[in-house]
Amino acid sequence: MNAIATRFHSRRQDLSVRLVQTRRRTDELFAIVRPEALYERPIPQRHRLIFYLGHVEAFDWNLLSGRAFGLPSFDPTFDKLFAFGIDPVDGGLPTDTESDWPKRAAIEQYNAKVRERLDAALGDALRRPNQSESEVCTMVETAIEHRLMHLETLGYLLHRLAPEKKVSRAAEKTVDWPPGKPRLIEIPAGKATLGLSRVSGEEFGWDNEFEAHEVEVPPFAIQKFNVTNRDFLEFMEAGGYQNDALWSSEAQEWKEREGIAQPGFWRRTGNLWMYRTMFGDIRLPLDWPVYVSHAEASAYANWLGRRLPSEAEFHRATYGTPDGTAERCYPWGNENPSSEHGNFDFQRWEPLPVGSKPNGASALGVHDMVGNGWEWTRTRFAPFDGFAPKEFYSGYSADFFDGKHFVMKGGSPRTAACMLRRSFRNWFQPHYPHVYATFRCVES
């Protein structure tokens, strides 16, 4: 076996193991849902939970069966039914009923066949390596990361499912950490490298991560810690939701239409503010990062006379060094992510107090830039120069270059370690309050 074939063989073996591990995580997540709740729709803009049971397997099959392995379809109806999710948009909502969906047993039978046939094909590829199969490896990695993204999507869907409809897990250990003193960190001018380079071709990336380019970032100041529930409560008590001057016209319409008067993870009980965790309500943890929509984050920043960071400013504060030239792979350095560095990779369901992972601070002294909650930026999601969609998944990013989505960076407690890479970009519309997204403010 020559060197190129040996490298592809090793990569396929690694991907095969990762695919099995990620499937196991999918199965564990669905085991939380009580059988009678599988046809629920916890978030109105999204599919019923039953859709996602079939979707992750159908995606794998539709992506890999023909193009990668030359396998014929054994159930075209399910291939199509479970092919695509719904992007949360304002306006019309899904109108399907429970009876429109197949029985769970039929979907699980389909899933088992998908796994069996794809595993056999992948195993055959491992036994007969072909040095021209770089695209196959990329497609399998695409399937893995797509599944990992849906593990996070399902996380916030299940957060909205009533506790009695879930199989409870042991309560997470609370972490006491002295409140971080709010202050701004001065970030000197320097470069930020956004995106991945196609030259090496070794590192996996989604189409919107290419092409790598440098941005010169002027000096600015950024909050050392994320905005906390305590901070945001001050904004609320100061009448922030009622002050229309802080909100865009679209955000005002959204607030009125949806009756938005508090963060989506909060609930008022008498005189107490409660917080919705995965398995029940608790007293509002004041030192956790606040999870809010982009519209709410922007209103808070306006209230302070500040703004959200740009994507380039986020990069500079997160990966940059004081001299403005060298950059790190991660905030803490080039060491692979571990639990010492942050709250990510399915360690927990919930956030930790801000600043409680000091070993993950950036070279410039900013904390929690990776993990504990995605971070909103003011940058609209758009292609980098040199963008080219992947032939086998042409709509992944291009369908959302509409000026209506904003870039999020960093990662949440439910973000897999492989997607903590510097170039990874997440995005959502500004009026969607369900994601694990926090923020911090900057000023010039």
- Residue 131 and residue 382 in contact, taking contact as beta carbons nearer than 8 Å: no
Q: Is residue 81 located within the same domain as residue 211?
A: no
Query: Phi-psi category of 155—alpha, beta or left, where left has phi over 0 and alpha has psi -120 to 50?
Result: alpha
The half-sphere exposure of 298 on its side-chain side, counting CA atoms within 13 A, is 21
Q: Hey, what amino acid is at 69?
A: F
Assess if residue 409 is contained within a domain.
Answer: yes
Assess if residue 426 is contained within a domain.
Answer: yes
Assess if residue 292 is contained within a domain.
Answer: yes
Question: What is the rounded distance in angstroms from the CA atom of residue 153 to the CA atom of residue 155?
Answer: 5
Q: Computed from CA positions of residues 435, 411, 358, 18, in that sequence, does the dihedral angle turn out positive or negative?
A: positive
- Residue 352 and residue 177 in contact, taking contact as beta carbons nearer than 8 Å: yes
Q: Hey, what amino acid is at 80?
A: K
Q: Is residue 25 located within the same domain as residue 129?
A: yes
pLDDT at residue number 291: 98
Assess if residue 256 is contained within a domain.
Answer: no
For residue 211, cis peptide bond before it (omega within 30 degrees of 0): yes
- Retrieve residue 89's tokens: 């948009």
pLDDT at residue number 11: 66
Q: How far apart are the first and last CA of the chain?
A: 57
H helix or E strand, kind and range, residue 25: helix 3-30
The count of domains in the chain is: 2
Q: What is the 3-state secondary structure (H, E, C) of 183-229?
A: CEEEECCEEEEECECCCCCCCCCCHHHECCEEEEECCEEEECCCCEH
H helix or E strand, kind and range, residue 267: strand 266-269
pTM summary value: 0.94
State which of 131, 165, 199 marks the end of a domain.
Answer: 165
- Retrieve residue 144's tokens: 């893995």
Going residue by residue through the chain, which has 444 residues, state the pLDDT in tens, using 9 for 90 and above: 444 444 445 666 788 899 999 999 999 999 999 999 999 999 988 899 999 999 999 999 999 999 888 999 999 999 999 998 665 545 567 888 999 999 999 999 999 999 999 999 988 876 666 545 678 888 999 999 999 999 999 999 999 999 999 998 877 877 778 877 779 999 999 999 999 998 866 689 999 999 999 999 999 999 999 999 999 999 999 999 999 999 999 999 999 999 999 999 999 999 999 999 999 999 999 999 999 999 999 999 999 999 999 999 999 999 999 987 889 999 999 999 999 999 999 999 999 999 999 999 999 999 999 999 999 999 999 999 999 999 899 999 999 999 999 999 999 999 999 999 999 999 999 999 999 999 999 999
CA distances from 102 to 96, 98, 157, 215 (A): 12, 9, 20, 50
Q: Is residue 397 located within the same domain as residue 315?
A: yes
The residues that bridge with 320 in the sheet, in sequence order, are: 327
Assess if residue 240 is contained within a domain.
Answer: no
Assess if residue 334 is contained within a domain.
Answer: yes
Q: Is residue 427 located within the same domain as residue 332?
A: yes
The CATH number given to whatever domain includes residue 130 is 1.20.120.450
Q: Is residue 149 located within the same domain as residue 197?
A: no
State which of 165, 195, 214 marks the end of a domain.
Answer: 165
Q: Position of tokens 């909502």?
A: 93
CA distances from 336 to 260, 418, 421 (A): 40, 10, 10
**280-283 and 374-380 strand pairing:** unpaired
Assess if residue 277 is contained within a domain.
Answer: no
The H helix count followed by the E strand count for the chain is: 10, 12
Q: Is residue 111 located within the same domain as residue 212?
A: no
The CATH number given to whatever domain includes residue 216 is 3.90.1580.10
Domain span at residue 117? Answer: 3-165
Assess if residue 243 is contained within a domain.
Answer: no
Q: Is residue 22 located within the same domain as residue 94?
A: yes
State which of 165, 192, 209 marks the end of a domain.
Answer: 165
